Amino acid sequence: MTDTNTSPLKVWLERDGALLRLRLDRPKANIVDAAMIAQLQAAFDAHRADRGLRGVLLDAQGPHFSFGASVEEHLAERCAAMLAALHALIITMVEFPLPILTVVRGQCLGGGLEVALAGGPIFATPDAKLGQPEMNLGVFAPAASCLLPYRVNQSDAEDLLFSGRSVTGEEARAMGLVQAVAEDPEVAALHYFDQHLAPKSAASLACAVAAARAPLIRELRARLHEVEALYLEKLMKTHDANEGLAAFLARRSPQWVHA
């Protein structure tokens, strides 16, 4: 297991090496910042070729999965590096050769939800809060714009992306965003792994994941490039995007000029 005194991520193997456990470990916010992204990237890279691995379980320490990405790293002078690193992680997760199960308690917002969307089934508590609140800050969610329509219908995806509202675990289950709702979603995810993934051939699972995700992978690589360019070359040159981020950091209401 990684040293939690220095790392924002706990990493360990269990089930005799069949299950990789990843735990966001900077409660209560578990912000998806540069350090967290780097640790997640390193963990997926290090275990990608583990023989006998049949899945990953991603969860978080504390009452919340993640409040989202670092707002400071979204500022104009830093957002290019942040987006590049986050989107590289998203691609790594989508292309990972085995199922990634995600356990969500409390808030799972913004960049935190984008990370969850890049995995496989999401297991959540009934009262969990999942959402993309970026529009409330005058920006949009690039990765979620690409991933949400694969999880839910276009109308629900646009609702979450445009409104910035959050939905409960129960609501997310009804729209197909969440696989299962349980009072203890970690137990539910482990049961799913033990029943449905552990008995399988790791080699066969890898082929099944590649087959199921091939269209998503092809489209996501192109779409992430497009939305990243839109974010950097158009959005971040507007007054309102910069005003929204500055207002959030100053804990005041934004003053939109609609340009």
Query: What distances in angstroms separate CA 119 from CA 74, 81, 125, 134, one per listed residue?
Result: 23, 22, 18, 21
CA-CA distance, 116 to 241, in Å (whole number)? 25
Residue 81 has pLDDT above 50, yes or no: yes
Read off the pLDDT of residues 141-154 as tens digits, 9 standing for 90 and up.
999 999 999 999 99
**pLDDT grade for 105, boundaries at 50, 70 and 90:** very high
CA-CA distance, 124 to 180, in Å (whole number)? 7
Of 61-70, 72-81, 150-159, 197-206, least confident by mean pLDDT is 72-81
Q: What percent of the chain has pLDDT over 90?
A: 96
pLDDT at 259 (0 to 100): 97
User: Edge-to-edge, what's the strand order for the sheet holding 9-14?
Assistant: 9-14, 19-24, 55-60, 100-104, 122-124, 180-181
Read off the pLDDT of residues 27-39 as tens digits, 9 standing for 90 and up.
999 999 999 999 9
CA-CA distance, 95 to 129, in Å (whole number)? 27
Residue range 110-135: mean pLDDT, rounded: 98
| Cβ atoms within 10 Å of 108's Cβ, excluding its own | 31
pLDDT at 5 (0 to 100): 54
Residues making up the chain, counted from first to last: 259
| Cβ atoms within 10 Å of 9's Cβ, excluding its own | 23
Average pLDDT, the chain: 96
Residue range 20-25: mean pLDDT, rounded: 98
Residue range 79-90: mean pLDDT, rounded: 96
Residue 6 has pLDDT above 90, yes or no: no
Residue 11 has pLDDT above 50, yes or no: yes
| Non-local CB neighbours of 248 within 8 Å, separated by 6+ positions | 71, 137, 254
Q: What percent of the chain has pLDDT over 70?
A: 98
CA-CA distance, 238 to 17, in Å (whole number)? 49
3-state secondary structure the chain: CCCCCCCCEEEEEECCCCEEEEEECCCCCCCECHHHHHHHHHHHHHHCCCCCCCEEEEEECCCCCECCECCHHHCCCCHHHHHHHHHHHHHHHHCCCCCEEEEECCEEECHHHHHHHCCCCEEECCCCEEECHHHHHCCCCHHHHHHHHHHCCHHHHHHHHHHCCEEEHHHHHHCCCCCEECCCHHHHHHHHHHHHHCCCCHHHHHHHHHHHHHHHHHHHHHHHHHHHHHHHHCHHHCHHHHHHHHHHHHCCCCCCCCC
CA-CA distance, 182 to 166, in Å (whole number)? 18
Fold assignment, 1-184+195-259: 2-enoyl-CoA Hydratase; Chain A, domain 1 (3.90.226)
